[in-house]
Structure 1
Amino acid sequence: MLQLKQIHKYYPVGREKFHALKDISLTIEDGEFVSIEGESGAGKSTLLHILGLLDTFDRGSYLLDGKEVKQFSDATASAYRNQKIGFVMQDYSLIPGKTVLFNTMLPLLFGHRKEGFRQVRQKALTALQRVGIADQAKKKVSQLSGGKKQRV
């Protein structure tokens, strides 16, 4: 479970501060899917970066699995990002000259997992099957449509 209580985030703008998030409280249960909607500049990306442990907040409380995120070391935050948090980025962050399979395996290889290459490859193929693009595994990412890139 993930729980935000009265989160505030400020950004410096010259000598002033821009209050990007004001008193945000939110609970997301394990397995729940959530959509964040709002106008441009409303703070959606800022909120998602905080939820994904990519950015910090200035005031409030963020509990992830019952643990206060402010207490996380960089290594702990990185481990949570790797094992518990998933993002579909706007720009996909894929390597265009590499295959779909390579791009799918890459986070697993860098995830400090104890599995060998064959196990990681099998996990990546299973993930591609789940999202319906296992038949695209050998294609270069640059050959995919936007929708298929998003699934990678």
Structure 2
Amino acid sequence: MSVAIREAVEEDVLLIQHFISKAGVQLGAVPLDWKQFIVAEDGQGAIAATAALQPVTDTSSLIRALVIDSEKVGASFVLKMLETAVQYAWEKNNEEIYMMVKEAGEMMENLGFKKVEKEDLPVEITVVPEIYTHLENGLPVYKTSKPVDKK
């Protein structure tokens, strides 16, 4: 099945909200600004995946709402969507990207992310309510930094 990843447009708002809600994610837990989203569409124009970049500082963002419809795309598509979200963040002039995950994993490290201990996170990150709760529950936060352009 053919899937295209693109920046969200205003007309996607209700589709994104429906897609995320259908996946069981509470809308209050994700950014609601459609400009922060990228979406993956299947050949019929239906959303197959989403990811959002929530700005935390002028040069860092948090990847949020990474939701994949496994009936429309294979399990390996999560890797493609995450790689695209990271590239999108670099294009938006982010220097650092953070991501909350349910468990530590090799996949994150293979993508260049490193687990960050709570005490090593900048205060701007730890005061984001969802991150604070995530950390209080003992769950990991990962970070990657923009590669240095070697010319």
Q: Provide TM-score, normalisation by structure 2.
A: 0.32
Q: Which has the larger radius of gyration?
A: 1
Q: Provide TM-score, normalisation by structure 1.
A: 0.31
